[in-house]
Amino acid sequence: MSTNFKELNLNLDIGPVTRIEGHLEFKLGIDDGRVKDARASAALFRGFEIMLKGRRPMDALGFVPRICGVCPTPHSIACAKTLDDLFKAEVPPNAHLFRSILLGVENIMSHATHFYALFGPDLVNKKYSGHKAYPLLQERFTPLQGSSYLKAIKARVKLDEVYAILGGQHPHSNVFVPGGVTYIPQLSDITKVTTILIEVQGYIEETILGSSVEEWLNNNSLADVEEWMGRDGHEKGDLGVFIKYAPELGMAELGKGVGRFVTYGVYDQEDGQPWLKRGFFDDNRVNELDHKKITEDVKHSWYEDYEGGKHPFQGETRPNFDKSGEKYSYAKAPRYDGKVAEVGPLARMINDGDPLLLDIYNKFGANVFTRELARLHEAVRTLAQVKIWLGKLDISKPFYIKPKPVKDGEGLGMTEAARGALAHWIRIKNGKISNYQVITPTAWNVSPMDSIGQHGPIENAVIGTPVPDEENPVEVQHVIRSFDPCIACTVHVIKEAVAK
């Protein structure tokens, strides 16, 4: 099947899609007021895999966090875990918790930024001006002016302060290394950070929830939420407003997903096992995750062709830009066991067996509404845990155990960024990197078609979307932004000479 844009009836170009992390080129085929075909094109090249070839393994720690300035921590942790695996490092319990604390803080920041600065402004789109809730939505979510928008910015500054106290700086902390972390917090650090987190919790309870964190986390079903909404004015919080009006605005019908979800597990506890479980959800059940079933296809990506999909340990990154043929994106096409799968907060909640999101998913499926609700719910769950993890740190015990280097070998590091499953793979020969591969969350979600014609998750979700007004395709924008794509993390500019 040809995917040459000139040959296809892709009659609506809404690219670049902005107000996401980076810009996404998106082309649609519209017929009878509905999307019949879609192509998501990540139009810039990320060359980190090429940059790292021939360098020392430890050099990766300086490079890979720069893949993205929005979510550098998961890249740092994925790299450190990759080197842990390569060097067979022993990681102390304190280090596992410390990594999880900083990752949790950054992911909460990302979720708040997404909902208020990236997704929320569409709630005040002119399409909804006739709805009874429009004045309320304007008052809260208008960019740079809305009351909730401004409060979210202040809360993010507080979380940045937490990160700086423990991680030294944000973004691009240098605290993560194979064998642990380089900073031992003092009791005064832990006390100050806990105080700030209590302030942030106060903001969440007052502005987002309209209730205590504990009250919200006691909700285990949609029926519980409906009862919670009618109690003590909870529906007046931003979350209550979203739950009440998003379905009325059609968001529970937009962006139906493929029903398959990949999660690598995240927030390692003292024993190195993740707090949020890993898994592959398919056929309405969670299956054990096997990284050997992960492949990347480049049939429709601007890379030199190879047959079928390759596991990242055998992966290739050889750019080949040719706009005249079937290729249309610099994103590769990750697949699990040959299947298209979605990643992100909804995937994490489902694979972890979160009772509330499982119940809501079973009633509504994957769509704009459930993805956004999962993101906000996860932020609340994570904040409650970060305070617990801080209390478990024992500053009298090690935070780092120096590993022994190796000359040859391979390593794998898996974690979760705010946007979903993230993994790094490394192979070294004679002490130098022979291959380094990264699959970002957005690569999963924004992937192009593969060699057997399967669309990626966002393309799939957009197909079928109604577009009553081609001058204002806000429905499509809702779907795309519900995945919180980070194109900056998927692609990067590189000079042509470097790519050869």
Q: What's the pLDDT tens digit per position in 201-246?
A: 999 999 999 999 999 999 999 999 999 999 998 999 999 999 999 9
Closest by Cα among 402, 393, 383, 401 to 185: 393
- The three-state DSSP-derived secondary structure of 1-41 is CCCCCCCCCCCEECCCEEEEEEEEEEEEEEECCEEEEEEEE
At 373, is the secondary structure helix, strand, or coil? Answer: helix
DSSP E strand stretches across 155-248: 176-177, 180-181
pLDDT band with cut points at 50, 70 and 90 for residue 3: very low
Q: Does the pLDDT value for residue 460 go beyond 70?
A: yes
Give the residues across from 420 on adjacent strands.
417
What integer is the mean pLDDT of 281-293?
A: 97
Q: How far apart are CA 38 and CA 28, in angstroms?
A: 5
| More confidently predicted of 56 and 494 | 56
Q: Rounded mean pLDDT of the chain?
A: 94
Q: Does the pLDDT value for residue 480 go beyond 90?
A: yes
* pTM (2 d.p.): 0.94
Q: Does the pLDDT value for residue 438 go beyond 70?
A: yes
Residue that the structure tokens 């697949």 belong to: 335
| Residue 494: predicted pLDDT | 47
Q: Does the pLDDT value for residue 489 go beyond 70?
A: no
